[in-house]
Structure 1
Amino acid sequence: MKKNILRYILPAALLAVSISLYALKADTGVTADADNAGLKLPAGFGALKVADLGAQARHIAVTPQGIIYVKLARPKDGKGILVLKEGTQGKAEVISSFANYGGTGMYIKDGYMYASSNKEVFRYKLNDKNEVINPNEPEKIITGLKMGREHETKSIVLDNAGNIYVNVGAYSNSCQEKDRQLGSMGIKGCPILDSAGGIWQFKANKLNQTYKDGVRYTTGLRNVVGLDWNQQNNQLFVMQHGRDQLHDIFPAMYTIKESSLLPAECMYALKKGDNAGWPYMYYDQIQHKKIMAPEYGGDGKKEAVGNFIDPAAAYPGHMAPNALLFYTGNMFPEKYRNGAFIAFHGSWNRAPEPQAGYFVVFQPFKNGKPFGDWEVFADNFSGSAAKTAAGRADHRPCGLAQGSDGSLYISDDSKGSIYRIVYKK
């Protein structure tokens, strides 16, 4: 009798296991690499390397059809946008390329793909499969943006009311009379802010706009590479790259150790007319204060005077936040819903202290605001702790995108790897 029961129970149990494994695969749609593509992740998560492009992959956009659009910092074989198509296992191949310009910005919204060079913003009409209809004839919607010898990239995002927001980075470290020179003081009134050092708002559907057609939405932002529109409270959030070289320029005021940690890399929640304070101040995440910049009369302790907004959150200095993404998917556990992922590209200017960054962190949110401590989510892009400390990372996370299934895509602008993170439980 027992043998007869086992005869029915065992196949049923095996079938249940098979169904369970199938459901796991169906949930993610892909299988993680055996080594999680070399990444260190929280329990329950897996990663695969989708592609290796051999080019500097900046921001990315992913469609429900498995098309990945990648903006390259510099054109490869004369083309600055790569189009990848995913197969059934999540791996992808380049199927086409277009656009004769490099840059960073990439965003899909309302049937168009938007992409930026370092001076202009274009848009491309998509068909019902989210394929670019005419890649060789984009519409130029913004032109004549200021570009200097540093912070030249133009990151972009759209709201829900037909507006596009463009970062115009300040072509300076701290608006000194002599940029990055020992003891050089700040230029009174900082003329750079007329056309850079802030976020400009334009219409998303109007062609050939220049500064006179747009609005300086916010000012006092040294450089923003990562930005996103928070759907939960319908507001623009950005990540600022904080200023450099406090010790190098003012060695009597700052130690090497202080200069390696300060100032904070700040997340700002922006409203029209806000001033984040660059170059006149910086945020000290250790003192939890807005501090007057030494170029403008500060001494490392004097609090800033002016109508400058507070950051929504602050992170250790010089880690270079290059992407911000609010997670709205269903694949990851509930704690991640409406929170923010931030790609920290990694530092170069902490020496002789160890360099830092080269990871993706998660910032919890509640009711549209940062809530609780941030945590490292995906690490080991650099390859090892020693490579991180030396600043010789194998890979540097730069762009973030959410797949239609809720998975998280990460681009690398060192070797051009594209990663995809899935939840396996």
Structure 2
Amino acid sequence: MKHLLSAVAATALLAGSAGAQTNLEKLGQFKVTGTKEHTFIDQNAPAADSIRRVLEGITLPEGFKIELYALVPDARHMAMAPQGTVLFVGTKKDKVWSVMDRDRDRVADEVKDFAPSLEFDVPNGVAFSKDGFLFIAERNRMMMYPAAEFFHESPDVVAVPIVPQGTLIPVEEESFNHTARVVKIGPDDKLYVSLGQPFNVAPPEKLDLYNEVGIGGIIRMNRDGSDREVYTYGVRNSVGHDFHPVTGELWWTDNQVDGMGDDIPPGEINRQTEMGQHFGHPWYGGGSTRTNEYAGQEVPVDVVMPAVETVAHAADLGMTFYTGNMFPAKYKNAIFSAQHGSWNRTTPIGARVMVTFIDEEGNATIEPFAEGWIDENGEYDGRPVDVAMMRDGSILVSDDFANAIYRISYSE
């Protein structure tokens, strides 16, 4: 709580400057902004029936079923509140959505925008601490929202910029490309934030700067934004990470280099065992495949190769370790991850949910879990983005193409 109070105090000091106050400054002083209305999404819209028809064609292992949970525009990464009352959903646009199942029938009955008095810029990454703080990672800002599970009912919420606008990365490095940040809270109670680099292959003149600030890597900081450091190097664009529930090790997906052909380079799921490890970019385009731009050059760092190589251009995004009790025992501590689907491939691939099993030595194998979002014409009916677990042990899958969230459950 002392971190919250100090951050709020700093916000209030900033708000004391001359001139009209912004809404963020008003909220920092616990003032109202005058915003009165939320935007609500009709859960009975005609799109719901169309999505349900698509879900009839999704294949799953025996005993599992998939159902429409909610209609959520541009649904990306998800964070379930600690008490399970509300799901927060990020987007690559300018909204964060709160999703509620008030009657507890495992189908959402209310979807509305979170904190409509504030402006968001690519608020893709959302994460909750166990003690109820919501963190949102934007293109170039990190925000903290205390008790968002309860304050989301109002258009005005307590909002603390723990990494103020324009300081997550240098402003001159802001881009429209690879800006979907992901944030998770580690076993050390620190924030881990991915910073995708904006190029297909990072040019040599950018490498020193990117290594310094953590672009093309994963950074770590305290929950109040202090003591920032680079935890992971050599990443192209990671849009999903989580911590092994037993070992505490960081595992993460990485989207690899485009333009090298249909079948290379492979995508990656990586296992990180200590701070400072390097995972190969820009010398490697994915797995052991060297990039054209750095071909023949000596690799000046020790590179950790991926724990799992995935099919080329499937766009592995969000992932979560399964710690629930609903699914059969073999899924305990396995990774459920979303493949968004390829754009840089002659024949589309991906658009499915994968499961990765990890043995006691850390060896990993991956296989499809839920698939069928590419139809017989090679057209997308959906593009999964992220996976999150509900308190009952079922999982949720977001889809920013169908504007939906699905629930996958199991019964014998």
Task: Give TM class, smaller chain.
Answer: 0.7 to 0.9
Q: What is the percent sequence identity of the aligned residues?
A: 27
Equivalent residues in 2 for 1:373-392, closer than 5 Å: 373-382=365-374, 384-387=375-378, 392=379
Q: CA deviation at 1:316?
A: 1.2
Q: 1:122 to 1:37 in 2, by over 3 A?
A: farther
Match of 1:264 in 2: 266
**Contact conserved, 1:232 with 1:368, CA < 8 A, in 2?**
no
Candidates 192, 200, 203, aligned match of 1:165: 192
- Residue by residue over 1:223-264, the C-alpha shift from the partner in whole angstroms, topping out at 9 and shown as x without a partner, is 100111112111111101111112xxxxxxxxxxxx211111
For the pair 1:243 / 2:257, whether they are aligned, the reply is yes
The answer on whether the counterparts of 2:356 and 2:367 sit within 8 Å (CA) in structure 1 is yes
Distance change >3 Å, CA 321–CA 86, structure 1 → 2: farther
Candidates 309, 321, 340, aligned match of 1:345: 340
2:264 and 2:241 map into 1 onto residues whose CA distance is: 21
Per the alignment, residue 281 of structure 1 pairs with: 284
1:82 deviation in Å?
Answer: 2.9
Deviation at 1:368, TM superposition (A): 6.8
Shift of residue 88, structure 1, vs aligned partner: 3.6
Q: Which amino acid aligns with 2:125?
A: G
Aligned residues: 346
Q: How far is 1:72 from its partner?
A: 2.1
What is the alpha-carbon distance in structure 2 between the residues aligned to residue 86 and residue 225 of structure 1?
30
* 1:327 equivalent in structure 2: 322
Q: Which residues in structure 2 correspond to 1:354-369 (within 5 Å)?
A: 354-367=347-360, 369=362
Range with bigger deviation, 100-109 or 357-366: 100-109
Q: Is the 8 A contact 2:54 2:373 kept in 1?
A: no
Q: Conserved in 2, the CA contact under 8 Å of 1:262 and 1:317?
A: yes
Distance in 1 of aligned mates of 2:111 and 2:201: 43
Cα–Cα, structure 1 residues 157 and 225, in superposed 2: closer, same or farther, change >3 Å? same
Q: Is the 8 A contact 1:175 1:192 kept in 2?
A: no
Amino acid at match of 2:355: F
Q: Answer whether contact 1:362 1:375 (CA < 8 A) is retained.
A: yes
Q: Which residue among 71, 75, 79 is the counterpart of 1:61?
A: 79
Match of 2:139 in 1: 118
Aligned partners of 2:228, 2:54: CA distance in 1, in Å? 48
Quick check: 323-332 or 94-103, which moved more? 94-103
CA gap 1:189/1:406 in 2 versus in 1, 3 angstroms:
closer
Matched residue, 2:392: 405
What is the alpha-carbon distance in structure 2 between the residues aligned to residue 47 and residue 188 of structure 1? Answer: 44
Residue 155 of structure 1 aligns with an amino acid whose one-letter code is: V
Measured after TM superposition, the shift of residue 163 of structure 1 is 0.6
8 Å Cα contact 1:74-1:103 kept in structure 2: yes
Q: Distance in 1 between matches of 2:206 and 2:190?
A: 33
User: CA offsets per residue over residues 290-333 of structure 1, 9 Å max, x none?
Assistant: 243221233xxx99564111211111111111111100111000
User: Between Structure 1 and Structure 2, whose CA radius of gyration is higher?
Assistant: 1
Q: Which digits, 9 at most, give the CA deviation of each residue in 1:365-422, with x for residues without a partner?
A: 1227243x3211011123x1423xxxx3121101111011100100111131110000
**How far apart are the structure 1 equivalents of 2:150 and 2:397?**
20
* Deviations 1:180-237 (CA, angstroms, capped at 9, x unpaired): xxxxxx5585644433100111101x15x5xxx4101111101100111112111111
Aligned mates of 2:216, 2:137 — CA distance in 1: 17
Contact 1:291 1:303 in 2 (8 A): no
Task: Name the amino acid aligned to 1:400.
Answer: V
Distance 2:319 2:361 in 1: 14
Structure 1 unaligned runs (5+)? 1-32, 177-185, 247-258, 285-289
More strand by share: 1
Q: Which amino acid aligns with 1:412?
A: D
Post-superposition Cα deviations, 1:78-127, rounded to whole Å, max 9, x if no partner, equal: x4333333534321123542243132101111221111211111121227
**TM-score, scaled relative to structure 2:** 0.78
- What are the residue-to-residue correspondences of 1:197-212 with 2, within 5 Å? 197-204=216-223, 206-207=224-225, 209=226
User: Counterpart of 1:194 in 2: which secondary structure?
Assistant: helix
Rounded to whole Å, the distance in 1 between the matches of 2:391 and 2:53 is 23
Structure 2: gaps (5+ residues): 1-51
Whole-angstrom CA distance in 1 between matches of 2:198 and 2:300:
24
For the structure 1 residues 149 and 34, does the alpha-carbon distance in structure 2 shift closer, same or farther, using more than 3 Å as the test? closer
